[in-house]
A = this chain, B = another copy of it.
Amino acid sequence: MSHNSFGHLFRVTTWGESHGPALGAVVDGCPPGIRLDTSDIQTDLDRRKPGQSKFVTQRREEDLVEILSGVFEDDRIRESHGGQITTGTPISLMIRNTDQRSKDYGDIRDKFRPGHADFTYNAKYGVRDYRGGGRSSARETAARVAAGAVARKVLNAIVSGGVTIRAALVQMGPHQINRANWDWDQVNENPFFTPDAAAAAFYETYLDGIRKAGSSIGAVIEVVAEGVPAGWGAPIYGKLDQDIASALMSINAVKAVEIGAGFDAASLSGEDNADEIYARQDGTPDFRANHAGGILGGISSGQPIIARFAVKPTSSILTPRKTIDTSGRETEILTKGRHDPCVGIRAVPVGEAMLAIVLADHALRHRGQVG
């Protein structure tokens, strides 16, 4: 059952609300013997952390992760590994909430914000923790990023040569980057995680206008995994692309996912869409295109795995919107407070984390069935 868990052999369960004392993840099924320190996780968390530029929420959270279980260090391990290692038992990760500012929630307590989960959580449960969105807050994604950092370690431990998973913002509002400018090194050089320096300069002005207007805008993120061997995935209902779609669509505010050519594949002919295969010297396939996004029949082909997902604009804006209150009366609401004018920006490390989790799970599943 998967209300709050994701994955099978590598299984992540998250918990916590935006304004509760803490949030966290339990990572079960991690192979033993992998070096894991908080610093491995903190690096990824810091990329997602709020308050790092004027373009993301000004909530101040250190997002310091604690590892509460599943790792061990003794003298012999220190000698052979240089630090603590995973033991194969569940890894409990916790991040304290420190800046909740929860005193004043009058309006969102009684009114349903359009585009948010307020109405639907209420419809489902009859009660909701309205403070900062409660469980539906994007704050939950900190737990994903922490778990994703563990997944990366697993992949690098299992796959010779390692697996590199990177994401980038490729569209903000209607403005796509110029793919000719793609430079992965740029991604961490601008506050938008975009690989196109020229686009970054443009987004700076563009998003500042949106921010000042109290508005918001959507984005498209691309995630790429390199180094995945051929053969991961499973037929029919355990397809690798299916699980990637599930993983990415589970991120807050995501409304669309595509693999490889994605929606453009609908417009292609069979001739153009078939990624022709040549042989390398060792007889392994040398694909000359990657419309498939690295996945055929739900199973990895050895090519880079490429996925994109669309993040809607946050619904927290300063312009009043029509809505109803919890008594069913018509009213208006505008959302003050600390929010992201383009919530898609912080989805970049989250997308990486979710892809890492899917791949770690499939790495173990493949090894289980096929050896």
Q: Which of A21-29, A186-194, A197-205 contacts B (4 or more CB under 8 A)?
A: A21-29
Contact B267 A88, beta carbon cutoff 8 Å: no
Residues of B within 8 A of A370 (CB): 31-32, 88, 124-126
Contact B274 A265, beta carbon cutoff 8 Å: no
Residues of B within 8 A of A299 (CB): 117, 120-121, 123-124
A369-B3 Cα distance, complex, nearest whole Å? 10
Contact B31 A270, beta carbon cutoff 8 Å: no
Contact B255 A293, beta carbon cutoff 8 Å: yes
The number of residues on chain A lying at the interface, defined by a beta carbon within 8 Å of a beta carbon of chain B, is 160
Residues of B within 8 A of A324 (CB): 277-279, 283, 285
Is A167 positioned at the interface, with any CB of B under 8 Å from its CB? no
Find residues 185-221 in chain A having any chain B CB closer than 8 Å to their own CB.
210, 215-220
Residues of B within 8 A of A33 (CB): 125-127
Chain B residue, CB-CB nearest to A120: B299
A70-B66 Cα distance, complex, nearest whole Å? 20
Contact A119 B285, beta carbon cutoff 8 Å: yes
Chain B residue, CB-CB nearest to A88: B125
Given A13-B26, A20-B69, A297-B136, also A3-B236 (CB < 8 A):
yes
A293-B266 Cα distance, complex, nearest whole Å? 21
Residues of B within 8 A of A136 (CB): 235, 297-298
Contact A1 B1, beta carbon cutoff 8 Å: yes
Chain B residue, CB-CB nearest to A24: B92
Q: Which of A36-44, A45-53, A55-63, A244-252 contacts B (4 or more CB under 8 A)?
A: A244-252
- What distance in Å separates the Cβ of A129 from its nearest Cβ neighbour in chain B? 4
Residues of B within 8 A of A162 (CB): none
Find residues 298-316 in chain A having any chain B CB closer than 8 Å to their own CB.
298-302, 310-316
Instruction: Count chain B CB atoms within 10 A of each CB in A33, A218, A293, A312 and give the residue with the most.
Output: A312
Given contacts A4-B90, A32-B369, A220-B263, 15 further A-B contacts (CB under 8 A): A3-B11, A3-B90, A15-B68, A16-B92, A21-B66, A21-B69, A23-B69, A72-B128, A87-B129, A123-B301, A136-B235, A246-B249, A265-B311, A273-B313, A367-B371
